[in-house]
Structure 1
Amino acid sequence: MIVPTPRYRCPLGRLQPEPMDVEAVKRRGWRERRLLVVCLDDDRLDWTERELIRRIGERLYGAWEARHG
């Protein structure tokens, strides 16, 4: 009879966080705090919505600078 060798289970494995549903966090932030998190690359936005969000972001936080490493 062949008995499979038990696999080592690292005790730190149980400390791994559960994967987060980012869209659910954004949705909850909007509903509870009126906090909006938007990526300009989001396919759900059309050009006018992207442009409006870009202008608001630049007005509040300044122009976006591409950083090259």
Structure 2
Amino acid sequence: MYSKPARIQHACNHYGCDCLVSGILLNQLKGISEYEWERLDRVTLRGKETEVELFRVVNLHLSSSHPILVKL
């Protein structure tokens, strides 16, 4: 049995993305201004009955002091 996040992660291969999020999660992230999103599709995930909107990050705007910015 696979969870919805695992099915969404599997969809990354189809869309050629490293990360996808559902519309439900995106609504919870709306207050985070560093991200710009692109709606890719509305799909029914394998083994599920309801459709899910899929989004990908198209731009990430971070300042040099942002806590998740890591220099490699």
> TM exceeds 0.5?
no
Per chain length, whose mean CA-contact separation is higher, i.e. which structure has more relative contact order (CA < 8 Å, sep 6+)? Answer: 2
TM-score, normalised with respect to structure 1 = 0.31
Give 1 or 2: higher strand fraction: 2
Give 1 or 2: higher helix fraction: 1
Q: Point out the structure with max Rg over C-alpha.
A: 1
